[in-house]
Amino acid sequence: MIKWSRLVTLLLITAVVFGTVALTGKKVAMGTTLGLDLRGGFEILYEVAPLNEKQKLTTQTLKDATKALDNRVNKLGIAEPEIQAEGTNRIRVRLAGVTDQERARDLIGKPANLTFRDQDGKILMQGSDLAENGAQGVLDSQTQQPVVTLQFKDAKKFADVTQKYIGQPMAIFLDDQLVTAPVIKSVIPNGTAQIDGQKDIQEAKDLAAILNAGALPVKMKEVFSTSVGAKLGQEALQNGVEAGIIGTIIVLLFMIVYYRMPGVIACITLVAYIYLLLLMQNLMGATLTLPGIAAFILGIGMAVDANIIMYERIKEELRSGKSYLSALRAGSKRSLSTILDANVTSIIASLVLFYFGSSAIRGFAVILILSIIVSMVTAVAGSRFLMNLAVRSNLFNKPGYYGVKERDIREL
Amino acid sequence: MNYKFDGYRFDFVKHRKKYFIVSALLIIAGIVSLMTMGLNLGVDFKSGTRVQVQIGQTFKEADVKQAVEQIGLHSGSITTAGDKKDMAVIQFAEPIHKDEFAKLTKAMENKYGKGVSLQESTVNPIISQELARSALYSVLLASVGIVLYITIRFEFRFAVSSVLALLHNVFLVITLFSIFQIEVELTFIAAILTIVGYSIHDNIIIFDRIRDNLKHAKLKTVQDVEDVVNHSIDQTLARSINTVLTVVICAAALYIFGGESIRHFTLALIIGLIFGAYSSIFIASQIWVSWREADLKKSKKKNKLANNEA
């Protein structure tokens, strides 16, 4: 006799799964943080060296440098910059969605040891004499030329300097680069100075940002860089997603044709799996990169494998003459240890990847681990639960529903 | 096809010497190829810069070369890529400076319009050597971890057979990349490690079945060992085929539709997945059979000696 309560529960769960995916799926998919390979941007690895022989690189100097870089990037108005110290002498900067790469790259790596020198090169004042946020990129009210105005902490000190060197040029150096050398025409009592010669207001603002962020406490050399044009990134994403959808649909069809009723259940749990994986990834704030998509699709393969292992076992039990319910029980129980052992070894391999891999590989490993864990919930527990409902509903009491031939079934 | 319960459809074990010979020949070919041709390493593994230009229209490689040389850069090679043949890949043997990259961007925009999109990667040899080293350590360490886990859950013989099959798979993928001179990029490492994960996954499932069947079998003769393994492979065969089929379908979709940037990655993946399925049946299981039988003969000899002395 058909047990409707079980059947209705099964249908209800199916409706809930598909309903949730249909209603919120798009939102979840859109909420994914994309790596720079998928939306354009760039990544630079800097090797950090001490400024001079006396200085020693410590974790603190590395931290200071990271903070200074962070300040600069923030001034650029770039969202979600990723700046982190790596090892003992490296800093990795990752900027996704940056359109004007040249400018950003210039600004980040530029030194900023500001000095004011006399004709003989003697340092009169330094960047550290600047007031907090004392540099500003503005348009000069009289000439309408872009300039950087400077405000010094100690107005008196600056007044003394201008008095002493009146009539002489005062050179403004950014590290060892001469920026400009205006002649001091009069004593400046209010502690302000100005650097002109900027091409446009943007350049003036950028220079002000560098000055305010202060001198980098270290020397930096680009040792690795990778950049992706926004258009290339989008194309890669679209391709990856399309490939994923096509692959998934073929696999779902295969499952239904080969495994029949259990195959349909596999489809429900697989859709739930993909949805949950995206959701988990968003909640964790993980970034989806190209290798990540690959791991994602491999994860689908692993989840399908869990289903296949279980269904093959159930088929075997059915062939040996067991009833549907006991075949399900024995099949899911005996397949569990197999799936567990296989997945644990894959997780071990992924953990090693995560620990030793570089950025892209780490993203890959994280998604693989995540997908194995999620698949244990959906493809193992979820599948088992739904199969139970289906079998107990007594609607599918024919071997054909399980892809088993009648004549293959032995007498017990 | 009729399913027989007490027999098996194919004697997998009987021909094992042939599989070993085939794999040995492939490995020798790999060693020769690696020693003579080596690997076609991308910039990820050596010093230099690789620039990928999405031009958005068909173009002449010579034109791109001319534009590159006009701004004073020396390109190593320029190749056409992409489904629509609208992408140029320029390799520089020397790392190019960011100013030069900016110049190159401008030159390409001037020539092909604002719609061009550039992708650049520059690596310094120290970093790439580090990458290669960390990849090697990863595979070795992963192997150790896997051996430990399988030894605890199964037995040492299973563990060693699995890891041998796994290294065999990894080596054969590297071999094919060497023979066909396919470019090896950073993502290749990710592919190799996926292969490690997958072939172990595949091995475990067959060994798990062997372990299961051993509970009900007594291994007294060589024939007993072979029967158990043949049964186990036969019972898991549908699963082995279907699983590798579904994973390969996913990887193939990625290869065909996934775009240029991951093509080498997915190719490595597909080759590795197929070797992974092959080796779990024809290499790992067969190593285990040979080992188990050797042990069986040894202990028999011992018993005989002991009996004779008595």
| pLDDT, tens only, A182-214 | 788 778 888 888 877 777 888 888 777 777 766
State pTM to two decimals.
0.74
Does residue B116 or residue A17 have the better pLDDT? A17
User: Residues B271, B168: contact at Cβ < 8 Å?
Assistant: no
Q: Do A228 and B146 touch (CB under 8 A)?
A: no
pLDDT at residue B129, as a whole number: 67
Read off the DSSP letter of residue B200: H
Q: Which residue of A lies nearest to B54 if distances are taken between CA atoms?
A: A232
Q: Give the least confident one: A117-131, B125-139, B178-192, B276-290.
A: B125-139
Helices (H), ranges, A76-222: 101-109, 155-164, 201-213
Buried b (16+ CB within 10 A) or exposed e, B149-171: bbeebbbebbbbbbbbbbbbbbb
State the best of B213, B247, B256, B273 to mutate against chain A, taking most chain A CBs within 10 Å: B247
Q: Give the least confident one: A34-38, A191-195, B237-241, B265-269.
A: A34-38
pLDDT at residue A162, as a whole number: 84
Residue A32 reports pLDDT greater than 90:
no
Q: Which of B117, B150, B205 sits opposite A231 (nearest CB)?
A: B117
Mean pLDDT of B222-236: 90
Read off the pLDDT of residues A345-373 as tens digits, 9 standing for 90 and up: 888 878 877 887 665 667 778 888 999 99
Tell me how far apart the alpha carbons of residues A26 and A102 are, in angstroms, rounded to a whole number.
Answer: 34
pLDDT at residue A226, as a whole number: 76
Q: Which of A101, A294, A356 sits opposite B134 (nearest CB)?
A: A356
Residues of A in contact with B247 (CB under 8 A): 298, 301-302, 304-305
Read off the pLDDT of residues B82-116 as tens digits, 9 standing for 90 and up: 767 788 888 887 777 777 888 888 888 888 887 78
Mean pLDDT of A143-161: 84
User: Residues A252, A270: contact at Cβ < 8 Å?
Assistant: yes
- In sequence order, the β-bridge partners of residue A288 are A34
Query: Measuring CA to CA, which residue among A125, A220, A118 is closest to residue A165?
Result: A118
User: Residues B19, B280: contact at Cβ < 8 Å?
Assistant: no
Mean pLDDT of B124-139: 69
pLDDT at residue B29, as a whole number: 95
Concatenate the DSSP letters of all residues of B16-78 into one string.
Answer: HHHHHHHHHHHHHHHHHHHHHT--EE-GGGSSEEEEEEE-SS---HHHHHHHHHHTT---SEE
Interface of A with B in 358-387 (CB under 8 A): 358, 360-361, 364-365, 368
* pLDDT band at residue A76 under the 50/70/90 scheme: low
Q: Which helix (H) or strand (E) holds B308?
A: helix B285-309
pLDDT at residue A189, as a whole number: 83
* pLDDT band at residue B125 under the 50/70/90 scheme: low
Residue A254 reports pLDDT greater than 90:
yes
Mean pLDDT of A313-323: 91
* pLDDT band at residue B171 under the 50/70/90 scheme: very high
Backbone angles phi, psi at A88, to 5 degrees: -100, -15
CB pairs under 8 A between A and B: 231
User: Residues A70, A214: contact at Cβ < 8 Å?
Assistant: no
pLDDT at residue B85, as a whole number: 78
Helices (H), ranges, A117-164: 155-164
Query: How far apart, in Å, are the Cα atoms of A32 and each of A22, A42, A294?
Result: 17, 19, 15
Question: Which distant-in-sequence residues (6+ apart) come within 8 Å of B66 by Cβ?
Answer: none
**Helix pair B285-309, B222-257: axis angle to 10 deg:** 160
Does residue B53 or residue B46 have the better pLDDT? B53
Rounded to a whole number of angstroms, the CA Rg of chain B reads 25
Residue A221 reports pLDDT greater than 90:
no
Residue A270 reports pLDDT greater than 50:
yes
Residues of B in contact with A357 (CB under 8 A): 134, 138, 189-190, 193
pLDDT at residue A276, as a whole number: 93
Percent of chain A predicted with pLDDT > 90? 23
pLDDT at residue B3, as a whole number: 40
Query: How far apart, in Å, are the Cα atoms of A288 and each of A78, A291, A296, A360?
Result: 19, 8, 9, 10
Question: Which distant-in-sequence residues (6+ apart) come within 8 Å of B164 by Cβ?
Answer: B283, B284, B287
Question: Which distant-in-sequence residues (6+ apart) come within 8 Å of B176 by Cβ?
Answer: B182, B271
pLDDT at residue A13, as a whole number: 93
Q: Considering chain A, what is the average pLDDT of its residues?
A: 82
Closest-CA distance, B156 to chain A, in angstroms, reads 15
Percent of chain A predicted with pLDDT > 70? 94
User: Residues B168, B27: contact at Cβ < 8 Å?
Assistant: yes
pLDDT at residue A412, as a whole number: 64
Question: Which distant-in-sequence residues (6+ apart) come within 8 Å of B114 by Cβ?
Answer: none
First to last CA, chain B: 53
Closest-CA distance, A158 to chain B, in angstroms, reads 37
Residue A408 reports pLDDT greater than 80:
yes
Tell me how far apart the alpha carbons of residues B43 and A334 are, in angstroms, rounded to a whole number.
Answer: 48
pLDDT at residue B165, as a whole number: 92
Residue A340 reports pLDDT greater than 80:
yes
Residue A252, Cβ density class (10 Å: 0-12 exposed, 13-18 middle, ≥19 buried): buried
B241 close contact with A: CB closer than 8 A: no
Helices (H) and strands (E) in chain B, counts: 9, 6
Residue B5 reports pLDDT greater than 60:
no
Closest-CA distance, B125 to chain A, in angstroms, reads 9
A253 close contact with B: CB closer than 8 A: no
Pick from A163-172, B187-196, B247-256 the range whose average pLDDT is largest. Answer: B247-256
Q: Give the least confident one: A94-103, A241-250, B35-44, B288-297.
A: A94-103
Interface of A with B in 313-342 (CB under 8 A): 316, 319-320, 334, 337-338, 341-342
